[in-house]
Structure 1
Amino acid sequence: MTFFNTKPLLASAAMALALTACQAAENKSDTGVTNTESIANMDLPAGVTLIETVQGSDSGEVVIPYSKFRLDNGLTVVLHQDKSDPLVHVDVTYHVGSGREEPGRSGFAHFFEHMQFQGSENVADEEHFKIITEAGGTLNGTTNSDRTNYFETVPSNQLEKMLWLEADRMGFFLDAVTQEKFEVQRETVKNERGQSYDNRPYGLLWERVGEALYPEGHPYSWSTIGYLEDLDRADLNDLKKFFMNWYGPNNAVITIGGDFNTVQTLEWVKTYFGTIPAGPEHDAPVYEEITLDADRYISLEDNVQLPLLYMAWPTVHANHPDEAPLDVLANIMGQGQTSLLYKNLQKPGLAVQASAGHSCREISCSFTMLALANPGRVQKLSDLESTIRESLVEFEGRGVLDDDLTRVKASIVSGLIYGLESVSGKVSQLAAYETFRDNPNGIGDDIARYEGVTKEDVTRVYDKYIKNNPAVIMSIVPKGKPEMIANADTWQRYERTIPDFSGEAEQTWSRPEDPEGLDRSIVPASGPNPTIKVPDTYTFSVGDDIEVLGARNTEVPTTTISLRIKAGQSHETLDKLGLASLTAGLMSEATTERTAEELSNELDKLGSSVSFSAGDTFTTMRIRTLTENLDDTIAIAMEKLLKPKFDPEDFARDKANQIQNIKAGKKEASQTASNLFNIMMYGTDNPTAYSNDGTEASVEAITLEDVKAFYAAHYSPKIASVIAVSDLDKTAMEKALSPLSDWKGPDVASSEIKDFPQLDTGTLYFVDKPNAAQSEIRVGKRALPYDATGEYYRSGLMNYPLGGAFNSRINLNLREDKGYTYGARSFFNGDEKSGWFRASAGVRADSTAASIVEFAKEIQLYQQSGITEDELKFTKSAIGQRDARAYETPSQKLGFLSRMATYDLKPSYIDEQADILANMTKSEIDELAAKHLQLGEMIMVVVGDKAEVYDDVVALGYKVVEIDADGNPIK
């Protein structure tokens, strides 16, 4: 789904956005390029052809300015200049995903994404992550059914190095592939499947639905990660064939956004990519209409708490004329508090969650409805199915309202503008439009097609694709409760037909022939370090001494506000744990003036959001809006803040949902391990040792009067503060926030922390999770409270090479060398009063004991021997340069202001941290490691399948105490 809006809304919002885009385009590089004519007259490198240039204008057109070029080998290059921050974002998108795989060879595209990070001819093993991290950058890759992309955001002086890296893996990958790398990454993918699919509640939902929805052999009938038996069957030659077939420059788009010189960038692209030979040409994928002859019921017993019902109807394909009205229909049926599913399922308490969507991929879309049942109210999923089908009938009688179109279209245009708050967001849009439409300028087309959606269109697509049409209906129920499924299965998984791949012809790799003088083994030097400046800030007070800390962000016409009340779980009593979260949840329900549905409708029509949440220390009201709608949004926020209704029905529903979420959380091994680690650290006498949701017993004991009392006693301006980021200046923000002057409230006593328990150091606490494919491991101890420039900050620097970076010792050992895990890390975390050190990972079940050994080995070695000089250099470079991308978006600026407000910091603390980093010595790091990483002072928490792993864990020699998911010893 992309972007649209009504004409009245579009006029002002698009104007603001277009002007912003123009301003970005007019930030001249030293080429002086600002318009189509001057770009067309540039002296382009030989072999680089300008295809088109699109600039912003003040005509009301929404556009991301760009220039599109093509190399002789078919590589498409899209450039977007934005000099507002000293960074660049590079995206290389290949038009290949799991939908281009063959039956019996599933998972290749995703597996290849992993392999592409394992080095190439001129980039050593593990060096890709190290080079980018050391440059102060961040990176990743993603695969879906239709494309694979690799991307990095780095300081602007690192652009040439990024292009060298990406070109080396595009043109010089195959000679560096080894059987050992192949085997390690195969294990890593297996761990990812275990963590994200097999060992995660509901993790097999989309795989099973895809099998039932599409005919055998259809490219969407398997999941992106594929089947393990296909990966086990694959060999190194299969991988190489897949690479040669799909990863040529003519099947790729490189999109670059940020602060760069256009001519110089094109010269670098030509130098590093220009000699890579084109790969095979491929026809566009063909859309085939998907039809079902009857409803297909399927079911699965899983380790879940909440039964799930999922319904899927096949519809059209991405960019089909009917995609837009189907998106609108999905919003009406099941998105937000104005939807029919919310009204009929969530509001009466039948479902903890209910939603509808229209998921579109290149050659097929599906209209879906999902409901997580409240098992206290629903005994069979057939009851939910009946209510969903009745909601569809209700839509037939209700029809499409004017507010439906206004609301849905407003949410799309606001989403568009929010998406342009970062260079990466703009680059992602340009890359996707070019890959799937051959036209980066797709935003205007999307706005036009969604703007044209009528009530009749929505009714027509409902009649055509949904009404009386068969669907796939999947039930996922708790193990041992098959009676809860919606209907007996009417469709069975088939035995897949695996083709005979023997006798396939070998493909020949054409090695690029570089011009004399180009030595790809030499890492390009970095350019001059960019100038980094923290955001300018301002302060003022409003109302009852509410301090406001703000920063201006003129790049987009948006405003983000966080009103923070210094009261949360720390102010709860042990018998009423979860009270702060339950109170915050009710603040998003009805007020004394309007229903929750009416408030939601008004916010959606503004393209705004107002939400409440509660943590250990703060309750927060967060506001996000287009600035032109700020006053109206603040009026709604104030109504929510000052006039909550605390309706008994809302309370009963939210309380029941919170209890069900607590029960569901116990099914998540990762959440269970982290929760129990916190309890062991801080003891059962401190409220903040527990999950913010509380316990089943404590939430059950909470009454509506408790909620009202917590609100009356703690929601006070006397302990409130505001942080804000907006394109408005200080004067305008003072006016916008003036309604806070109406807020009155009592003094609030600060919370107290009870003494922490004596850790039973050296103890391993074990929790049984039967049939778990993976085990969750936590190793750690209490440590330091937060300090921006003291020992806490320095200890974080110390930990960076141990477990703070992708290429840290812990991750390289457990993931890259051993293949035990999808990822492992360690870190220090602290707040005003306490802190801890923790190392963690989810590991393959059969490697549980071995992983514990490796964790202990790495921590002990680092504690005893300290950092190496190379690691110290790496840490200084990586952390020292990453601030170039630290203050780009409103969210990043808000995080910076939040730290300042919480810990009473001045902006200069950033400079102090830079000085500490620059002067950090090996001896200081070693002293900190020796002090804070003594394994004998730590405890361990392991959640896994006792039948499979317990004996091996006990054999390690630790004191083992078996506990349940609440932390109670099992005798």
Structure 2
Amino acid sequence: MRTSYLLFAFALALTSTLASAQKAAAPKATFKVDYEKFTLPNGLQVIFHIDRSDPVVAVSLTAHVGSAREKPGRTGFAHLFEHLLFLESENLGKGGLDKMTARIGGSGANGSTNTDRTNYLQTVPNDALEKMLWAEADKLGWFINTVTEPVLAKEKQVVKNEKRQSYDNNPYGHTSYVIDKHLYPEDHPYNWQVIGSLEDLQNATLPDVKEFFRRWYVPNNVTLVVAGDFDKLQARKWVEKYFSEIKKGQAVTPLAKKPGLVKETTKLYHEDNFARLPELTMAWVTVEDYHPDAYPLEILAQYLSDGKKAPLYKVLVEDKKVSPNVNMYNQTAELAGQMQLSVRAFSDKDLDEAAAAINEAFAKFEKEGISDKDLSRIKAGLETRFYNSLSSVLGKGAQLAQYNIFAGNPGFIEKDINNTLAVTTADVMRVYNKYIKNKNYVATSFVPKGKTALALEGSKKAEVSEEAIVQGAEGTIDPSAQATYERTPSSFDRSKEPPYGPAPRVKIPVVWSEKLANGVRVLGIENNEVPLVQFELVIDGGLLLEDPNKVGVSNLVARMMTQGTIKKTPEQLEEAIDQLGASINVFAGAEDIRIRVNTLARNYQATLGLLQEILLEPRWDIKEFQLLKQSMISQIRQQEANPNAIAQNNYNQLIFGKENIRSKNILGTIESVNAITLDDLKAFYDKSISPSVAHMQVVGSLGKTAITTPLSGLIAKWKSKPVNIPAYTTPKAPEKSQVYFYDVPDAKQSVIRFGYPALAATDKDYYPASVMNYILGGGGFASQLTQQLREGKGYTYGISSGFSGTNGVGPFTIGSSVRTNATLESAQLIKEILQNYGKNYSEKDLETTKSFLIKSNARAFETLGSKLAMLENISKFGWKPDYVKEREEIVKNMTVEQIKQLSQKYLDADKMFWLIVGDAKTQLSRLTALGFGEPILLNK
């Protein structure tokens, strides 16, 4: 379900509410999203939005059907169709939209399903618009005949793998299932999960599936949005050509609003196989989308839980030290809503303590309320979030569809804004009293195995169905099977794919550069699409500068830098940032410490002043230091049971070797974090935070002078000093392959990481090798790994491969989560693909690779984030501003023979680490058959 404030709901005119905090009201901001809407005779609603900033167009098709339209016992159908509609249609043929995406340089056709709608969306170069409209129409009118028993059987396995990966094999993954079963009665359409149950998916028949499609995927239940740089008159002709002859379906009756029902407070517990910390989640019944009370409820949740002033933070984190953080949010959908509060407590904390602390925080709020200043602070943050949501045509298009379907008007933005602006402090207290105070709720206690004593007193055992691991339980699939069916008639030949339009002109942003007096190099791009400035200050070092025997210092230094300054307490600093509608985050990585800033352009200079305080005048608050250490230890404990975190941490040790600092977890260990003192942080700060190893990237709606002139204060006060970053030798690839296994008992999937130390990003072969990898595992659905393991066998929800070097050598990695009972089979298939890759690489593969990598450049710089990434590459690796053009030439000149040579050089299956994190009792012994000797168990 969606959170109650959708992308366009964040008020642009919120500026005027800041008067109390800023002494004088800022001018009222305006931001109009123009659109044009028309409806075809068959009921299809079409919305156009023009955006000429980049030569791209986003096409989204949204059906007003989600899990709420399903029948009990046949759940998961809407989500199943989200998958099926990408596979094949009568005129696109096998591979469908996924296959076409690779040829046309699309962003990767994607989709999502919630309780109330399913959408399909993609951004493409604008020369491919007619192709996209042809393809989307084929989904709606020329698709369902291609769904056969083999197709359905295979996609069931893919969806079940998604469920295992996202829910069953994840800590706390069943929380929503348990809550929704008790927040909504059995006859309520939100009683079951969007993804459905494994049993329902397995029992779905072909007639069931076809009936569901024909009822809901009809033009009169669909909205089509086209957003971007295109000709409206021509686009309308194409829409009418491709969609008009699709027949109108049965009328769709709106579902009545139906709130959840909790007759008495219900407490349930579950022993979670993957949890190391107890977690309490509480849920109350609230209201649906766009209900007048949804607006103050959203602000209530944010005020109660976000930031150091929040009552829940004050009591649970600072006073009672129950948990490192608290999350609370109001979740709304078409028919109903719920307020949810979640506390992941420290190890062995009784959740009754957490519940008592929550009640104490509520009492504190009841006594103190919310001030006008805090209300305006929250609204300022919403304004910035609003602008961030508009940085892509895809986001704007999806939101226009959302408003059209659920508010009945794509232009609902104005009413939404007014509803937000109208919220008062009295409204916030009113909705608290109406929906939260003394109201019945559902509470879940998810606790580690064997620790039911930590659950809330009076809790009953939750009914959670866990899948047994049975070898050979899934049937085999024939991926080559061709569907036979009677073709759907059309008034013209739809089997002929439309031609490309005029080739788009790739717009490489103009980059400006400035070397500051203290040595910092600043690179920037002026971008006036939204009134924001985003920038990063990158200080080289990070983990590389740490003592290998006391890892965790750089991470704590980064986190401490936003915990107050000499002039401001932690709370005062946070409030000053929030009042500007800004965000300032500092975090450490393997090679650097980064300060990432997002702010309204008009507040750039004021935000820079706060950054200067953070950077040069850290507070070193002992209380915050102790809280952060507790938080880090809590995170480390959580990683100990998370299969993906386990896989990554152990893979790093194999790739870099235990003597290389890069093999260490940036968080440290429980022992090392406990041993770290505040003096350790100060010493690290003194030796490493210097402009001599810093560079800055800026993108936003201010020019070079407006960006660099306010940096004068920082230049004057931040003095340069030498920083010596140690050089570590990265081990070479192993002489022979070896299987390593980490046991997570009863894991529902096996997490795999196969690879070896490969190349630095600056190596002359790095980009050519990446081009070579596109068809192997870098091209999504165009890749052999995806086609064979997901589409062919149903072993996984997703798999990829790639090179990830920086200035130092990084690994080549194949990564996935595969069905537990297909662990060996997945590894064997990957080994076979690697061994045959160069031999079977074809001219057609090269054509697909070239088409995607060249055409996708049209959308390479659309968002602020993509422009920042471009500047980072230029700054870090010394590349030219037009390095994209240089890469384009590499792609154009690539030959099949070069691909074969590169694959032979960099894809040796017999010289890799083969790491598997999964269930040892059922899978470990089987892996000997992979041919790399006896597996080594890492956690005996």
TM class by shorter-chain length? over 0.9
Contact 1:537 1:549 in 2 (8 A): yes
The CA distance in 2 between the partners of 1:664 and 1:494, in whole Å, is 21
The CA distance in 2 between the partners of 1:335 and 1:896, in whole Å, is 32
User: Unpaired segments of 5 or more residues in structure 2?
Assistant: 20-26, 466-484
**Residue 41 of structure 2, aligned match among 67, 72, 80:** 72
Q: What are the Cα deviations for residues 910-964 of structure 1, in whole angstroms up to 9, with x where unaligned? A: 2211111101011111001111111111120011101111221123332234344
Give yes or no for the alignment of 1:529 onto 2:503: yes
What letter matches 1:449 in structure 2?
N
Give yes or no for the alignment of 1:161 onto 2:131: yes
User: Could you say what secondary structure the match of 2:695 adopts?
Assistant: strand
The CA distance in 1 between the partners of 2:13 and 2:372, in whole Å, is 14
Aligned match of 2:737? 762
Aligned match of 2:98? 129
- Give the 3 Å change call, closer, same or farther, for CA 350–430 of structure 1 in structure 2: same
Give yes or no for the alignment of 1:649 onto 2:597: no
Aligned match of 1:46? none
Aligned match of 1:853? 828
Matches within 5 A, 1:470-485: 470-485=440-455
Aligned match of 1:608? 582
The CA distance in 1 between the partners of 2:893 and 2:370, in whole Å, is 65
Give the C-alpha shift of residue 317 in structure 1. Answer: 1.2
**Residue 929 of structure 1, aligned match among 903, 916, 935:** 903
User: Could you say what secondary structure the match of 2:759 adopts?
Assistant: coil
What letter matches 1:330 in structure 2?
A
The CA distance in 1 between the partners of 2:689 and 2:30, in whole Å, is 44
**Residue 318 of structure 2, aligned match among 347, 350, 353:** 347
Aligned match of 1:298? 268
Give the C-alpha shift of residue 696 in structure 1. Answer: 2.5
**Residue 357 of structure 1, aligned match among 321, 329, 347:** 329
Q: What are the Cα deviations for residues 524-545 of structure 1, in whole angstroms up to 9, with x where unaligned? A: 1111211102110111122412
Give the C-alpha shift of residue 459 in structure 1. Answer: 1.3
Contact 2:924 2:935 in 1 (8 A): no
Give yes or no for the alignment of 1:338 onto 2:309: yes
Aligned match of 1:369? 341
Contact 2:751 2:916 in 1 (8 A): yes
User: Unpaired segments of 5 or more residues in structure 1?
Assistant: 14-57, 496-508
Aligned match of 1:506? none
**Residue 715 of structure 1, aligned match among 674, 677, 689:** 689
The CA distance in 2 between the partners of 1:917 and 1:181, in whole Å, is 35
Matches within 5 A, 1:237-316: 237-302=207-272, 303-316=274-287
Aligned match of 2:727? 752
**Residue 457 of structure 2, aligned match among 478, 484, 487:** 487
The CA distance in 1 between the partners of 2:531 and 2:486, in whole Å, is 49
Contact 1:212 1:493 in 2 (8 A): no
- Give the 3 Å change call, closer, same or farther, for CA 854–10 of structure 1 in structure 2: farther
Contact 1:117 1:129 in 2 (8 A): yes
Give yes or no for the alignment of 1:226 onto 2:232: no
Q: What are the Cα deviations for residues 152-175 of structure 1, in whole angstroms up to 9, with x where unaligned? A: 100000000000111001001111
User: Could you say what secondary structure the match of 1:312 adopts?
Assistant: strand
Aligned match of 2:473? none
Q: How big is the alpha-carbon RMSD for the aligned residues of Structure 1 and Structure 2?
A: 1.9
The CA distance in 2 between the partners of 1:786 and 1:316, in whole Å, is 51
Moved more, 483-492 or 412-421: 483-492
Matches within 5 A, 1:460-859: 460-490=430-460, 493=463, 514-515=490-491, 518-741=492-715, 742-754=717-729, 756=731, 759=734, 761-787=736-762, 790-806=764-780, 807-859=782-834
The CA distance in 2 between the partners of 1:278 and 1:694, in whole Å, is 60
User: Could you say what secondary structure the match of 1:391 adopts?
Assistant: helix
Q: How many residue pairs were aligned?
A: 903
User: Could you say what secondary structure the match of 2:224 adopts?
Assistant: strand
Moved more, 629-638 or 898-907: 629-638
Matches within 5 A, 1:862-881: 862-863=837-838, 865-881=839-855
**Residue 211 of structure 1, aligned match among 178, 181, 186:** 181
The CA distance in 1 between the partners of 2:533 and 2:919, in whole Å, is 48
Aligned match of 1:385? 355
Aligned match of 2:67? 98
The CA distance in 2 between the partners of 1:4 and 1:775, in whole Å, is 41
The CA distance in 2 between the partners of 1:6 and 1:918, in whole Å, is 45
Matches within 5 A, 1:392-403: 392-403=362-373
The CA distance in 1 between the partners of 2:77 and 2:874, in whole Å, is 46
Moved more, 185-194 or 644-653: 644-653
Give yes or no for the alignment of 1:324 onto 2:295: yes
Give yes or no for the alignment of 1:236 onto 2:212: no
Q: What are the Cα deviations for residues 197-233 of structure 1, in whole angstroms up to 9, with x where unaligned? A: 1001111111110001110121111111011111111
The CA distance in 2 between the partners of 1:107 and 1:384, in whole Å, is 35
What letter matches 1:559 in structure 2?
V
Aligned match of 1:194? 164
User: Could you say what secondary structure the match of 2:33 adopts?
Assistant: coil
The CA distance in 1 between the partners of 2:130 and 2:869, in whole Å, is 30
- Give the 3 Å change call, closer, same or farther, for CA 580–955 of structure 1 in structure 2: same
Contact 1:315 1:365 in 2 (8 A): yes
Give the C-alpha shift of residue 719 in structure 1. Answer: 1.2
Q: What are the Cα deviations for residues 129-177 of structure 1, in whole angstroms up to 9, with x where unaligned? A: 1211221112201000110000010000000000011100100111111
User: Could you say what secondary structure the match of 1:521 adopts?
Assistant: coil
Give yes or no for the alignment of 1:9 onto 2:23: no
Give the C-alpha shift of residue 697 in structure 1. Answer: 2.6
Give the C-alpha shift of residue 513 in structure 1. Answer: 5.3
The CA distance in 2 between the partners of 1:734 and 1:721, in whole Å, is 13
Give the C-alpha shift of residue 347 in structure 1. Answer: 3.0
Contact 1:10 1:413 in 2 (8 A): no
Aligned match of 2:383? 413
Contact 1:344 1:387 in 2 (8 A): yes
Give the C-alpha shift of residue 649 in structure 1. Answer: 1.5
The CA distance in 2 between the partners of 1:217 and 1:511, in whole Å, is 39
Give the C-alpha shift of residue 339 in structure 1. Answer: 1.4
What letter matches 1:601 in structure 2?
E
Aligned match of 1:882? 856
State, as a whole percentage, how many aligned pairs show the same letter: 37
What letter matches 2:637 in structure 1?
K
The CA distance in 2 between the partners of 1:618 and 1:930, in whole Å, is 34
What letter matches 2:753 in structure 1?
R
Give the C-alpha shift of residue 112 in structure 1. Answer: 1.0
